[in-house]
Amino acid sequence: MEFKVGEVLQGEVVAIKPYGAFVRLPNGTVGMIHISEVAQEYVSDIFQYLSVGEEVTVKVIGENAEGKPNLSLKRLSPQELEEARFHREVEAVRLALERRNGEVLARLRRQKWPKPSQQQEETLRDWIAEAKRVLERVQARAARRSPAQPQQGRGSD
């Protein structure tokens, strides 16, 4: 199995049947959430809880006979849901920064700028170095809070 039992992942609901929902995971594998794993309470109509195209956070709880992951919504702890939300937010910021960096670089290449002074170059280098340090701290925090990492006696942040 490519995924470990207990791993928390993001996925997209791609199909729903009366007995469960099928979720495409980040690597393209499709796993299933059995109707009994959708909510803590009894679920008689899965369509009241999930819809095709919905993004969901799921927990891997095993695999079926074909080696496909069995998934759960109800076994996610509040802490795991919060860590997954935090990770998604950090990733969205990282992608936005990369996109914005690309746009700025493209704009700078198109423009004809006078050669900056040595002081301006140093200021710009310092600013870039500080931005990289901030991004590294955010990524390190995200890595520490990653659901795949074991929790070791941490208090709340």
Look up the pTM and report it: 0.60
State the pLDDT at residue 106: 78
Decide if 63 contacts 69 (C-beta within 8 A): yes
Q: 157: pLDDT confidence band, cut at 50, 70 and 90?
A: very low
Classify each residue of 106-123 as buried b or exposed e, where b means 16 or more C-beta atoms within 10 Å of its C-beta.
eeeeeeeeeeeeeeeeee
Phi and psi angles of residue 31, each rounded to the nearest 5 degrees, phi first: -110, 175
CATH top-level class for 8-72?
mainly beta
Rounded to whole angstroms, the Cα distance separating 55 from 135 reads: 26
User: Domain coordinates of the chain in residue numbers?
Assistant: 8-72, 78-145
Q: 156: pLDDT confidence band, cut at 50, 70 and 90?
A: very low
Dihedral sign, Cα of residue 49, residue 53, residue 59, residue 62: positive
Q: Is the pLDDT of residue 153 over 60?
A: no
Q: Is the pLDDT of residue 16 over 50?
A: yes
**Can you read off the two tokens belonging to residue 34?**
């059995």
State the pLDDT at residue 148: 54
Quick: pLDDT tens for 94-135: 888 888 887 877 777 777 767 778 888 888 888 998 888 988
Euclidean distance between the first and the last CA atom of the chain, given in angstroms as a whole number: 33
Q: 53: pLDDT confidence band, cut at 50, 70 and 90?
A: very high
